Protein backbone atom coordinates (compact mmCIF):
# COMPACT_ATOMS: atom_id res chain seq x y z
CA UNK A 1 0.00 0.00 0.00
CA UNK A 2 1.50 3.33 -1.06
CA UNK A 3 1.18 6.47 0.96
CA UNK A 4 1.17 4.57 4.24
CA UNK A 5 2.16 6.63 7.27
CA UNK A 6 4.19 5.10 10.06
CA UNK A 7 1.78 6.54 12.61
CA UNK A 8 -1.68 7.69 11.60
CA UNK A 9 -4.25 9.11 14.04
CA UNK A 10 -7.66 9.46 12.37
CA UNK A 11 -10.30 11.45 14.29
CA UNK A 12 -9.35 9.84 17.59
CA UNK A 13 -11.37 10.29 20.76
CA UNK A 14 -10.47 8.72 24.10
CA UNK A 15 -12.32 8.73 27.40
CA UNK A 16 -11.21 7.35 30.76
CA UNK A 17 -14.84 7.25 31.81
CA UNK A 18 -17.01 5.08 29.57
CA UNK A 19 -20.06 6.16 31.62
CA UNK A 20 -19.65 9.85 30.87
CA UNK A 21 -19.50 10.15 27.12
CA UNK A 22 -18.74 13.87 27.27
CA UNK A 23 -15.53 13.57 29.25
CA UNK A 24 -13.04 12.97 26.47
CA UNK A 25 -9.35 13.33 27.38
CA UNK A 26 -8.58 13.32 23.64
CA UNK A 27 -11.06 14.82 21.18
CA UNK A 28 -11.01 14.36 17.43
CA UNK A 29 -7.24 14.20 17.10
CA UNK A 30 -5.81 13.58 13.61
CA UNK A 31 -2.13 13.70 12.70
CA UNK A 32 0.51 11.59 10.99
CA UNK A 33 4.15 10.74 11.55
CA UNK A 34 6.16 9.57 8.57
CA UNK A 35 9.37 7.55 8.43
CA UNK A 36 12.29 9.65 9.63
CA UNK A 37 10.11 12.53 10.78
CA UNK A 38 10.73 14.45 14.03
CA UNK A 39 7.45 15.59 15.52
CA UNK A 40 7.08 17.59 18.73
CA UNK A 41 3.81 17.72 20.67
CA UNK A 42 3.41 20.71 22.99
CA UNK A 43 0.74 21.23 25.59
CA UNK A 44 0.36 22.19 29.24
CA UNK A 45 -0.58 19.71 31.99
CA UNK A 46 -3.80 17.82 31.40
CA UNK A 47 -4.00 18.67 27.70
CA UNK A 48 -4.02 14.99 26.66
CA UNK A 49 -0.36 14.39 25.74
CA UNK A 50 0.22 11.19 27.73
CA UNK A 51 -3.08 9.82 26.50
CA UNK A 52 -1.86 10.39 22.92
CA UNK A 53 1.44 8.64 23.77
CA UNK A 54 -0.43 5.60 25.07
CA UNK A 55 -2.71 5.54 22.04
CA UNK A 56 0.30 5.42 19.73
CA UNK A 57 1.32 1.83 20.47
CA UNK A 58 -1.92 0.21 21.57
CA UNK A 59 -1.45 0.63 25.33
CA UNK A 60 -4.82 2.39 24.86
CA UNK A 61 -7.16 1.91 21.94
CA UNK A 62 -9.41 4.76 20.74
CA UNK A 63 -12.94 5.10 22.13
CA UNK A 64 -13.78 6.47 18.66
CA UNK A 65 -11.68 6.86 15.53
CA UNK A 66 -8.63 4.85 14.45
CA UNK A 67 -4.91 4.70 15.07
CA UNK A 68 -2.78 2.89 12.50
CA UNK A 69 0.86 1.87 12.96
CA UNK A 70 2.43 1.14 9.59
CA UNK A 71 -1.06 0.32 8.34
CA UNK A 72 -1.94 -1.92 11.30
CA UNK A 73 -5.05 -1.05 13.31
CA UNK A 74 -4.07 -0.67 17.00
CA UNK A 75 -7.55 -1.85 18.02
CA UNK A 76 -6.89 -5.26 16.45
CA UNK A 77 -5.41 -7.43 19.23
CA UNK A 78 -3.50 -9.65 16.87
CA UNK A 79 -1.33 -6.67 15.86
CA UNK A 80 -0.30 -5.83 19.41
CA UNK A 81 3.20 -7.38 19.43
CA UNK A 82 4.12 -6.11 15.98
CA UNK A 83 2.93 -2.63 16.94
CA UNK A 84 4.92 -2.62 20.21
CA UNK A 85 8.02 -3.65 18.24
CA UNK A 86 7.57 -0.80 15.77
CA UNK A 87 6.66 1.98 18.19
CA UNK A 88 8.26 2.25 21.62
CA UNK A 89 7.18 4.71 24.29
CA UNK A 90 9.63 6.22 26.79
CA UNK A 91 7.91 7.72 29.82
CA UNK A 92 8.68 10.53 32.21
CA UNK A 93 9.94 8.67 35.23
CA UNK A 94 13.08 6.63 34.51
CA UNK A 95 12.72 4.70 37.78
CA UNK A 96 9.43 3.17 36.66
CA UNK A 97 10.97 1.88 33.44
CA UNK A 98 14.05 0.10 34.75
CA UNK A 99 13.30 -3.56 35.44
CA UNK A 100 16.72 -5.16 36.08
CA UNK A 101 19.54 -4.39 38.49
CA UNK A 102 22.33 -4.48 35.88
CA UNK A 103 22.31 -2.14 32.87
CA UNK A 104 22.80 -4.74 30.12
CA UNK A 105 20.21 -7.07 31.65
CA UNK A 106 17.72 -4.25 31.64
CA UNK A 107 18.32 -3.49 27.96
CA UNK A 108 18.06 -7.21 27.10
CA UNK A 109 14.67 -7.56 28.78
CA UNK A 110 12.54 -6.50 25.80
CA UNK A 111 14.28 -8.60 23.12
CA UNK A 112 14.30 -11.61 25.50
CA UNK A 113 10.52 -11.35 25.75
CA UNK A 114 10.33 -11.37 21.96
CA UNK A 115 12.09 -14.75 21.98
CA UNK A 116 15.12 -13.53 20.06
CA UNK A 117 18.21 -15.86 20.05
CA UNK A 118 20.86 -15.00 22.70
CA UNK A 119 23.63 -14.15 20.20
CA UNK A 120 21.39 -11.66 18.41
CA UNK A 121 20.32 -10.20 21.75
CA UNK A 122 23.97 -9.64 22.70
CA UNK A 123 24.54 -7.69 19.46
CA UNK A 124 21.35 -5.67 19.84
CA UNK A 125 22.10 -4.79 23.47
CA UNK A 126 25.65 -3.70 22.65
CA UNK A 127 24.50 -1.61 19.69
CA UNK A 128 21.67 -0.04 21.69
CA UNK A 129 24.00 0.88 24.57
CA UNK A 130 26.50 2.40 22.13
CA UNK A 131 23.72 4.39 20.46
CA UNK A 132 22.84 6.12 23.75
CA UNK A 133 26.43 6.46 24.95
CA UNK A 134 26.03 3.98 27.84
CA UNK A 135 28.14 1.06 26.58
CA UNK A 136 30.87 1.66 29.17
CA UNK A 137 28.21 1.32 31.88
CA UNK A 138 26.86 -2.02 30.65
CA UNK A 139 27.84 -3.88 33.84
CA UNK A 140 26.91 -1.07 36.23
CA UNK A 141 24.05 -1.28 38.70
CA UNK A 142 21.01 0.56 37.39
CA UNK A 143 20.01 2.07 40.76
CA UNK A 144 23.31 3.95 40.97
CA UNK A 145 22.87 5.81 37.68
CA UNK A 146 21.87 9.47 37.37
CA UNK A 147 18.38 10.32 36.06
CA UNK A 148 19.73 11.14 32.59
CA UNK A 149 21.69 7.88 32.49
CA UNK A 150 18.66 5.85 33.59
CA UNK A 151 16.56 7.53 30.93
CA UNK A 152 19.19 6.64 28.31
CA UNK A 153 19.17 3.02 29.51
CA UNK A 154 15.38 3.03 29.12
CA UNK A 155 15.84 4.38 25.59
CA UNK A 156 18.43 1.67 24.87
CA UNK A 157 15.84 -0.89 25.97
CA UNK A 158 13.56 0.49 23.26
CA UNK A 159 16.28 0.62 20.63
CA UNK A 160 17.13 -3.05 21.29
CA UNK A 161 13.64 -3.89 20.00
CA UNK A 162 14.63 -2.20 16.69
CA UNK A 163 11.62 0.13 16.58
CA UNK A 164 10.93 2.48 13.69
CA UNK A 165 9.56 5.16 15.97
CA UNK A 166 10.10 6.19 19.58
CA UNK A 167 7.52 8.31 21.36
CA UNK A 168 9.09 10.24 24.24
CA UNK A 169 6.51 11.35 26.82
CA UNK A 170 8.16 14.28 28.63
CA UNK A 171 11.38 12.27 28.99
CA UNK A 172 13.27 15.21 30.48
CA UNK A 173 10.67 16.49 32.95
CA UNK A 174 12.42 14.91 35.94
CA UNK A 175 15.99 15.57 34.82
CA UNK A 176 18.55 18.27 35.54
CA UNK A 177 19.82 20.41 32.61
CA UNK A 178 22.66 18.02 31.87
CA UNK A 179 20.35 14.99 31.86
CA UNK A 180 17.94 16.89 29.62
CA UNK A 181 20.70 17.63 27.12
CA UNK A 182 21.83 13.97 27.12
CA UNK A 183 18.34 12.71 26.38
CA UNK A 184 17.49 15.34 23.74
CA UNK A 185 20.81 14.81 21.98
CA UNK A 186 20.15 11.08 21.97
CA UNK A 187 16.73 11.63 20.38
CA UNK A 188 18.21 13.93 17.73
CA UNK A 189 20.99 11.45 16.95
CA UNK A 190 18.50 8.58 16.54
CA UNK A 191 16.46 10.79 14.23
CA UNK A 192 19.52 11.70 12.14
CA UNK A 193 20.04 7.95 11.67
CA UNK A 194 16.51 7.59 10.29
CA UNK A 195 14.32 6.81 13.28
CA UNK A 196 10.99 8.63 13.59
CA UNK A 197 10.69 10.60 16.80
CA UNK A 198 7.66 11.96 18.59
CA UNK A 199 8.78 14.18 21.44
CA UNK A 200 6.16 15.30 23.93
CA UNK A 201 7.43 18.18 26.01
CA UNK A 202 6.64 21.47 27.64
CA UNK A 203 10.17 22.79 27.21
CA UNK A 204 9.90 25.11 24.22
CA UNK A 205 13.62 24.97 23.39
CA UNK A 206 13.23 21.25 22.70
CA UNK A 207 10.75 21.98 19.92
CA UNK A 208 12.92 24.13 17.67
CA UNK A 209 14.55 21.14 15.97
CA UNK A 210 11.26 19.52 14.95
CA UNK A 211 10.07 18.98 11.38
CA UNK A 212 6.56 19.55 12.68
CA UNK A 213 5.10 20.92 15.91
CA UNK A 214 1.63 20.04 17.14
CA UNK A 215 0.04 22.13 19.91
CA UNK A 216 -2.64 20.43 22.00
CA UNK A 217 -5.04 22.05 24.43
CA UNK A 218 -8.03 20.52 26.20
CA UNK A 219 -7.58 17.26 24.29
CA UNK A 220 -7.74 18.95 20.87
CA UNK A 221 -5.15 19.97 18.31
CA UNK A 222 -4.96 23.74 18.38
CA UNK A 223 -2.25 24.26 15.77
CA UNK A 224 0.17 22.31 13.62
CA UNK A 225 3.12 23.66 11.64
CA UNK A 226 6.86 24.19 11.44
CA UNK A 227 8.56 25.49 14.60
CA UNK A 228 8.81 28.91 12.93
CA UNK A 229 5.09 29.00 12.13
CA UNK A 230 4.16 27.88 15.63
CA UNK A 231 6.49 30.17 17.57
CA UNK A 232 5.39 33.21 15.62
CA UNK A 233 1.94 32.67 17.17
CA UNK A 234 3.10 33.93 20.54
CA UNK A 235 -0.35 34.95 21.73
CA UNK A 236 -1.90 31.60 20.89
CA UNK A 237 0.85 29.80 22.82
CA UNK A 238 0.48 32.03 25.86
CA UNK A 239 -3.31 31.68 25.80
CA UNK A 240 -2.97 27.92 26.23
CA UNK A 241 -0.43 28.15 29.03
CA UNK A 242 2.70 27.71 26.93
CA UNK A 243 5.69 29.90 26.34
CA UNK A 244 8.08 30.64 23.49
CA UNK A 245 11.79 29.70 23.50
CA UNK A 246 14.17 32.24 25.11
CA UNK A 247 15.74 32.93 21.71
CA UNK A 248 12.34 33.95 20.32
CA UNK A 249 11.59 36.08 23.40
CA UNK A 250 14.91 37.87 23.00
CA UNK A 251 14.33 38.47 19.27
CA UNK A 252 10.87 39.90 19.88
CA UNK A 253 12.16 42.14 22.66
CA UNK A 254 15.01 43.44 20.50
CA UNK A 255 12.61 44.07 17.60
CA UNK A 256 10.41 46.05 19.98
CA UNK A 257 13.46 48.15 20.89
CA UNK A 258 14.08 48.86 17.22
CA UNK A 259 16.84 46.35 16.45
CA UNK A 260 16.27 45.40 12.77
CA UNK A 261 16.05 41.62 13.25
CA UNK A 262 14.56 39.90 10.21
CA UNK A 263 12.39 36.80 10.38
CA UNK A 264 12.30 34.76 13.57
CA UNK A 265 15.64 33.25 14.66
CA UNK A 266 14.84 30.07 16.61
CA UNK A 267 18.17 28.65 17.70
CA UNK A 268 21.14 30.39 19.30
CA UNK A 269 23.06 29.80 16.05
CA UNK A 270 20.39 31.54 13.99
CA UNK A 271 20.23 34.44 16.42
CA UNK A 272 24.03 34.83 16.35
CA UNK A 273 23.99 34.83 12.54
CA UNK A 274 21.35 37.54 12.59
CA UNK A 275 23.42 39.69 15.00
CA UNK A 276 26.45 39.30 12.73
CA UNK A 277 24.38 40.30 9.71
CA UNK A 278 23.02 43.40 11.45
CA UNK A 279 26.49 44.39 12.65
CA UNK A 280 27.78 43.78 9.13
CA UNK A 281 30.42 41.37 10.36
Ligand X SMILES: Nc1ncnc2c1ncn2[C@@H]1O[C@H](COP(=O)(O)OP(=O)(O)O)[C@@H](O)[C@H]1O
Member of 1, 18, 45, 96 binding ligand X (CB under 6 A): 45
φ/ψ (deg, to 5) at 41: -110, 120
Taking the complex as a whole, how short is the minimal distance between the CB of residue 47 and Mg ion, in angstroms?
8
Sketch the per residue contact string, 3 through 42, with ligand X: x for CB under 6 A, - otherwise. -------------x--------x-----------------
The H or E element containing residue 168 is strand 165-169
Number of residues that bind ligand X (CB under 6 A): 10
| Residues comprising the chain, all counted | 281
The nearer residue to Mg ion, 49 or 150, going by C-beta atoms, is 49
Instruction: Identify which of 194, 132, 197 has the alpha carbon closest to the alpha carbon of residue 169.
Output: 197
Which among Mg ion, ligand X, none contacts residue 43 (Cβ within 5 to 8 A by kind)?
Answer: ligand X
Site string for ligand X, 101-120 (x = CB under 6 A): --------------------
User: Do the beta carbons of residue 111 and residue 161 sit within 8 Å?
Assistant: yes
Q: Is 186 in the site for ligand X (CB under 6 A)?
A: no
- Residues 23-82 touching Mg ion, rule: CB under 5 A, are 49-50
Give exposure, 22-39, as e/b (b: 16+ Cβ within 10 Å). eebbbbebebebbebbbb
* Among 11, 30, 46, 241, contact with ligand X (rule: CB under 6 A): 46
In 60-126, the DSSP E strands lie at: 64-69, 72-73, 87-90
Chain residues in the site for Mg ion (CB under 5 A):
49-50
Amino acid sequence: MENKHLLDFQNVFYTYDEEDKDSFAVKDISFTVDKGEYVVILGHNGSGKSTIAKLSNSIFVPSEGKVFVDGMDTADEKNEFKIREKVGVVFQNPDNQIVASIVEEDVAFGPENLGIPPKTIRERVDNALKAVGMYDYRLHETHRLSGGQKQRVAIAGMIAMLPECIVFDEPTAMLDPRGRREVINTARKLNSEGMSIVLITHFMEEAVFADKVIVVDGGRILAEGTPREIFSKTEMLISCGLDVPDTVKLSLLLKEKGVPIEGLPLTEEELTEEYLRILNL
